A and B are shown apart, each in its own frame.
Chain A
Amino acid sequence: MPKIKVLCRNPDDYLRETKNDIHKVPRSSSAQHPFKEQREYVRTLNAVKLERTFAKPFLGALDGHRDGVNVLCKHPTSLALLLSGACDGEIICWNLPRQTSTAKVQAHEGFVHGMAAHKSGQYFFSCGNDKTIKQWSIDAQGIIGGEPVNTLLGKCIYTSLDHHWKDDIFVTSGSRVDVWDERRSEPLRSFSWGVESVHHVKFNPVETYLLGAAAHDRSILLYDMRGSAPLRKVILKLRTNAISWNPMEAFTFTSANEDGNLYTFDMRNLSMPLNMHIDHTAAVMDVDYSPTGREFVSGGFDKMIRIFPVDKGHSREVYHTKRMQRVGSVRWSRDSKYIISASDEMNIRMWKAVAWEKLGKLAPREKAAMNYSEALKKRYGAFPAIRRIQRHRHVPKHVFNALKQQHETQEASKRREERKRAHSRQGSVPYVSVKKKQMVGEVE
């Protein structure tokens, strides 16, 4: 007599015991999942369409300034506070979540060119058109002391200011780069290379003794604060407006150039930029890195804010509003979630870094669903139908036409070069990287 066994299931194993339990969902790794790739593809399509539906990055505008906003300064210890300096010399401290100003102070006569805070967050420095550097105290609520704690009188207009990330040192730029100790009234050290004036200076957050400066002769200078002479200089075709160091990689920095491109350099090899980021149609005014070090935001003269990944040549996101005019300054908040932009029309705007993200505390299922969507987009993002939806951004007419024109001129120049190469001796028209073409040279 053969031994027979028939498949028999106990429903109790598959049904929940009480109303308060969750439903049982038996899973099987050996079960068949037909069309799993197709279904995932359809889910990715849906996810990408939803992403575009929920892409509403604008959070709010802070208004209170009476002249165009020139500089933004992130508060080192508080995520809620932000300092801004305007072209009429006024400095305002804002409470970002409440979207109100906590303190206003008439700091300078003329433009406020630079602002930087001490790492403790208890005081900050500002420099302006009136050739002074002022030190102000600020408390946890964002109230600025009515009178400056200290005033330093200088000989030239200071064009920018940055504070050391660790020590009590700050650096200013003007006709030359001056390194100051907070307690002294004369600069510790002065760097100058040639007769040019320097208009932007930034300290490296990781290798804290390194400085990068952008000078008027279209060059970017690198200094070691401890030494007496500058390290290196790289000259580009057009002037650099701002530079920003990568907070995760000590030797990488990105420069915002007048020609509408951004160049990411590796400090150790300045002969050619690591990457060239193309998408702005006019000069790029400011650049700031995300705390993750993977992306940076740039604001341009073409009224756009663009977010670029470090390794890609084109932007992943563009923010614009009809009301926003030339963007003078952009900052990425310290929790890598928000972007703050200061523009000509006296407004400071807050944006989400990831436009479709849901803010606030998410339920675990929500989080899981969003993670799943992100994973799907990563996996199937290269399919043309999906990429087309994901890349779609509306952009104002002037930018759209300018980009089209840019594209056409690029194609035309490529074609011309190819023809030249085809009709000349082999090797006489070498292939030169686009990145290299924008550089003039490097000087020790």
Chain B
Amino acid sequence: MSEQKSSAKDLDLEKKNKRKKRTKNAKRYYDDKDQKDEKDDGDASKQKTETFTVDGADVSRRRLAKWKKRRMAKIDGGDPSRSKVAKQQKTAFEHGEEAGYVEFESDEEHDSRLSQTDIVDAVDVTSATKHFDLSLKDFGPYYIDYNRSGRHLVLGGKRGHMAAFDWQTKKLHCEFNALETVNSVKWLHQETLLAAAQRSGVYVYDNQGVEIHVLQQLDAVLRMEFLPYHMLLVTANEKGFLGYTDVSMGTRAASICTGLGRLDVMTHNPQNAVVLLGHAPGTVTMWTPTTKGPVMKMLCHKAPVSALAVDSTGNYVATSGVDRRLKVFDLRTCQPLSTTRLTMGASSLDFSQRGLLAAAMATRVQVYRDVCRQTSVVSPYLSHMCGGSVQQLQFCPFEDVLGVGHQRGFTSLIVPGSGEADIDAMEVNPYATKKQRQNAEVKLLLDKLQPEMIGLTNWVKDLSSKSRSRPPVSKQPVKKLGKKEKEQEVREKKRASVKTEDKQEYDPTDVLARFRKR
């Protein structure tokens, strides 16, 4: 009896300890933030000197910054010495994460182009392993795609070789040969489904390599894009067809005959899900599933457009043409911001989460910093020569890594400062367990947006604003122009030849259209 009693007591103690441990852990998690703050206070002075690429601020951001400022004042006791940049880094510090950076010591080194070997030497072991090279010479130039969370990578060789793996742990999910020409690969909403644009159709595979669906109607697809919030797979055809397929229901949301020939340059705007296509006359057109024609047409180059990329904030588009120019346009006003001369037209462009632009020219990859904010010519931040001519570039979402698919395989390059340090797990969680992933999928399906909601303007935001009696004011400031200024504008317009066929997309729920300013 006494033994039992003592064992019971032990059990109680165990339970108590477990509880203590649990609360301790919980406390540690929360206290960690504060501790790290204290630690990093010393480093604050160092960070002041670094340049911080902050994405274009929108109103909510500004308000948030104000709130943060007020909160910081309370916590710090109103420490004015902390710069705005250091204050904004507070959220990254909460997890001990700060965005990568390169700090040049003297002015002359500012122009030097960093090489991967320099970076690998300077950085810790775990980060150094992020630079690796896969030599796959037999199966042609490789198309790549990173998962939304940045954990998983799929490679598709032109001659049919397909491989999907978790590139951080180097765990291979599947490797097989599709026995057909593969033109593009894309992860769908989860890391369990991937789509390959093969000659005979779009094939959807499991991450184990099992063929799940064959969409034979989508044949001769050259490019694919995935719109995660609408669950739409956008395919651009050799024959000029733009197809939207709803991946959750398996239905065709739209099939648009563009009539503009071979569509081999495509990208999408992550902020409003509008698809951009680049064409041979040097024009860039924008498409939504509900309109039959392009929603917007821009003349960007005097020669065929070879690559397109849209900023993560949705405000800027970088275009490159065969005329060896790299141009950055503001998407809201469709005005050119800057023009850079390149040695040759970039075959692939990609923006990182923090605004770095990567451009691929034959075998050379160049990364530019602050392209959107500068009107003058920028010199590259990083440069790298790959083993073969580059087919596709893509920045990895939450890491300082640039993936390059080329003729001779795949290379992963370290680009300090390209990845977003803060993760919001409610949006996308790279460290999700299976259960979390499944729950997230359910939530994504419940919140799935309809293709009719895609448009250039955010009508829900406009109409849900408090002042409903007043029509929503457009974001662009309306200036009253004098005669000279008007003439100048006309001249500029002729030069850029921007045709804004700003058709008001048909919105079936848009009963309040009369409230909107025309």
Contact = CB atoms under 8 A, between A and B. Distances in A.
A32 interface: yes
B509 A385 contact: yes
Given A2-B103, A5-B101, A384-B509, A21 B25 contact: yes
Interface string B30-66: 0010000000000000000000000100000100100
A30 B124 contact: no
Contact of A8 (B124, B272, B450): B124
B18 A20 contact: yes
A27 B464 contact: no
Contacts of B26: 21
A436 interface: no
Interface in A21-41: 21, 23-35, 37-41
B380 interface: no
Given A5-B101, A43-B447, A382-B468, A13 B22 contact: no
A7 interface: yes
Given A4-B102, A11-B431, A38 B449 contact: yes
Contact of B416 (A6, A13, A21, A380): A6
A3 B431 contact: no
B331 interface: no
Nearest to B126: A8
A36 to B, nearest CB: 8
Interface string B500-512: 0000000001011
Interface residues of B, number: 77
B411 to A, nearest CB: 16
B448 interface: yes
B109 A2 contact: yes
B446 A35 contact: no
A5 B99 CA distance: 8
Given A7-B100, A7-B419, A37-B464, A27 B124 contact: no
A3 B422 contact: no
Contacts of A25: 425-426, 429
Given A21-B22, A384-B512, A7 B464 contact: no
Interface stretch (B115-123, B334-342, B472-480): B115-123
B417 to A, nearest CB: 8
Contact of A2 (B68, B105, B468): B105
B430 to A, nearest CB: 8
B483 interface: no
23 contacts: A2-B114, A5-B100, A5-B416, A6-B400, A7-B97, A7-B100, A7-B399, A7-B417, A18-B25, A20-B18, A20-B22, A23-B436, A25-B425, A27-B424, A31-B423, A32-B270, A32-B312, A35-B273, A35-B449, A40-B460, A42-B450, A379-B464, A384-B509
B197 interface: no
B427 interface: yes
A98 interface: no
A15 interface: yes
Given A2-B104, A2-B105, A37-B460, A30 B88 contact: yes
A400 interface: no
A383 interface: yes
Interface in A249-271: none
A14 B273 CA distance: 30
A195 B99 CA distance: 87
A234 B102 CA distance: 82
A37 B416 contact: no
Contacts of A42: 446-450
A196 to B, nearest CB: 47
Interface string B159-174: 0000000000000000
A344 B425 CA distance: 58
A385 B508 CA distance: 10
Contacts of B216: none
Interface in B465-496: 468
B168 to A, nearest CB: 9
B424 A34 contact: no
Contacts of B464: 37, 41, 379-380, 383
Given A10-B96, A384-B509, A28 B25 contact: no
A17 interface: yes
Contact of A31 (B95, B97, B420): B420
Nearest to B425: A25
Contacts of B248: none
A1 interface: yes
A178 to B, nearest CB: 53
Contacts of B95: 9, 13-14, 26
A26 B96 contact: no
A371 interface: no
B256 to A, nearest CB: 21
A192 interface: no
A46 interface: yes
B413 to A, nearest CB: 11
